[in-house]
Amino acid sequence: MDGLHQQLGPRLHEARLRLALARPLAEAALAGVSGKGGLAAMSGWIPQRLLSALRDTLEARFHGCYWLDMREPSPGEMAEVPSLMRYPAWLKPFVPMVKSYGVPRYGEFDPTLPFALTYLLLFGAMFGDVGHGAVILLLAAALYRRLGRMAWVGMAAGAASIGFGLLYGSIFGYEDIIEPIWLSPLHDPVRVLTLAVVFGIGFIAFTLLANSWNRWVSGQIGKALFDSNGLAGL
């Protein structure tokens, strides 16, 4: 064993170093980089807003000795394009809830904003009470350091509950303290049920349109038009 170690040890060590040095090149080749001699080619995806910065960087590094070709992805490449989502600060707490169902592909409809608005709207409509909403809002604000950005969800839900509580004229379950701005659910249940049905129909139609758009941008024109979850489902 000692003889084999002395005989093969240096060669194995050299091979290990060569493989370690070649690893970045192999990874670059898998990422779309190739080269021969003094030439190198690289392909990839970049946000459109960063194209000017990329061009300036290449110009500063190679002084015109480069060729940059830019194009939009073809329909067949849509599944390969990475998704880069940017959200305003107030919307970011809702992003993990949406991503738990998956991440939209490039070009697909991003449901984060409608999800956030619908979440708050339904919470306020189902839990509309000025007193209870104020408790939720204050409790979420008090736990801001512990909950972080998720506290904004609680505060927004509490505010929505307060808003609908004013519309319903409800304070801690009492509906005889203030007059409702809109309607009283306990005294007008038929109207409330009618509005719920209308909202449900509109929401289903919206989801069918969003699904049709996703099918369309992915090149599945037939499914976008004639699938039961597409325009034909309307």
Taking the chain (234 residues) in runs of 10, the rounded mean pLDDT of each run is 64 77 63 64 84 89 83 79 87 90 86 94 94 96 90 94 95 89 89 93 92 85 85 83
pLDDT score for 128? 94
Answer yes or no: is 158 within a domain: yes
Answer yes or no: is 172 within a domain: yes
Answer yes or no: is 48 within a domain: no
> At CA 68, angle to CA 38 and CA 63, rounded to 5?
60
Tokens of residue 168, six digits: 């319903």
Answer yes or no: is 67 within a domain: no
Answer yes or no: is 46 within a domain: no
Q: How far apart are CA 182 and CA 180, in angstroms?
A: 5
pLDDT score for 24? 62
Q: How many domains is the chain partitioned into structurally? A: 1
DSSP state of 60: H
pLDDT score for 122? 94
Domain that holds residue 171: 92-187
Q: What are the Cα distances from residue 86, in Å, to 81, 92, 139, 142, 167?
A: 16, 9, 29, 28, 34
Answer yes or no: is 166 within a domain: yes
Torsion of CA 44, 46, 50, 51, to 10 degrees: 50
pLDDT score for 6? 66
Answer yes or no: is 116 within a domain: yes
Q: How far apart are CA 215 and CA 18, in angstroms?
A: 47
Answer yes or no: is 10 within a domain: no
Stretch (H or E) spanning 180 = none
pLDDT score for 229? 84
3-state secondary structure (DSSP) of residue 33: strand
pLDDT score for 75? 73
pLDDT score for 160? 96
Sorted by sequence, the CB contacts under 8 Å of residue 92 that are 6+ apart come out as 149
pLDDT score for 219? 78
pLDDT score for 37? 64
What's the start-to-end Cα distance of the chain, in Å?
76
